Amino acid sequence: MKILVCISHVPDTTSKINFTDGDTKFDTNGVQFVINPNDEFGLTRAMWFKEKQGASVDVVNVGGAETEPTLRKALAIGADTAIRVNTDATDGFSVAKQLAKVVKDGGYDLVIAGRESIDYNGGMVPGMLAAMTDANFVANCIGLEVDGTSAKAVREIDGGKETVSTSLPLVVAGQKGIVEESDLRIPNMRGIMMARKKPLNVVEPVDTTSETTTASFEKPAPKGAVKLVDADNIDELVNLLHNEAKVI
């Protein structure tokens, strides 16, 4: 089984976010980038298939040379080969189109992508990728088993979960649950050293156009001032909740 894991290069959630050019561009200065958490869950599940079923695991990213350290980390975790499509990830449609070319050229049986990236939260790429490659698709995947050319997946739905059976080729949009946080792997020194020798192939992009553009970014409003009330002063607390906060 050939598996391709899609890797997004995203800011660490602890990074301080700023914008430039009149709030139209993300400022990358001083920002630490990591593997998108939803993609990391998927990569860990792919490693399970590699170890238990002998699958080969490639990882792919659409982005510039600055994303290669993130791909190297994926290789250190255990992926066999990395592919970088040499173009900026401008919007979901163009990214899906670039990935579709990689999928078709590589003849992959299973593609695991994160449900969404934590920077833009678009949630569009996995579904569009499945449509472009004529593959079956499971969204919000929290469980996955493969037996030959058949697959059984569990997906999260409103108020519960649903188990579905399908066949390969398959694209899944994974999230926490496909593995647990305790299952995630930290690259060890041996993995890091081996990652330096594993192939990282740079491929040129196919012609495409962006279907969406970013008009502007806006930070959330700063938190308001906090009033502290003595634990014994219930009357003042009730007065503030009633007359100022107007919640009672």
Between the CA of residue 243 and those of 223, 230, 239, 240, 246, what are the distances in Å?
A: 20, 18, 6, 5, 5
Residue 224 lies in a domain: no
Residue 230 lies in a domain: no
Residue 245 lies in a domain: no
10-17 LR contacts (CB < 8 Å, sep 24+): 10/34, 10/35, 10/36, 10/117, 10/118, 10/119, 11/118, 11/119, 13/118, 17/219
Specify the pairing of strand 33-35 against strand 170-174: unpaired
Determine the distance from the C-alpha atom of residue 33 to the mean position of all C-alpha atoms in its chain, rounded to a whole number: 12
pLDDT at 225: 82
pLDDT at 110: 98
Residue 154 lies in a domain: yes
Residue 227 lies in a domain: no
Residue 240 lies in a domain: no
Residue 116 lies in a domain: yes
pLDDT at 247: 86
How many structural domains compose the chain? 1
Nearest to 102 by CA among 69, 58, 136: 58
- Is the alpha carbon torsion for 165, 169, 175, 178 positive or negative? positive
**By residue range, what is the domain housing residue 180?**
2-218
pLDDT at 151: 97
CATH number of 150's domain:
3.40.50.620
42/79 Cα distance (integer angstroms): 12
SS3 assignment, position 6: strand
Per the CB < 8 A criterion, the answer to whether 35 and 59 are in contact is no
Residue 246 lies in a domain: no
Q: Over the chain (248 residues), what is each successive 10-residue block's mean pLDDT?
A: 97 90 89 95 97 96 96 97 95 95 97 94 94 97 96 95 97 96 92 94 93 87 85 90 87
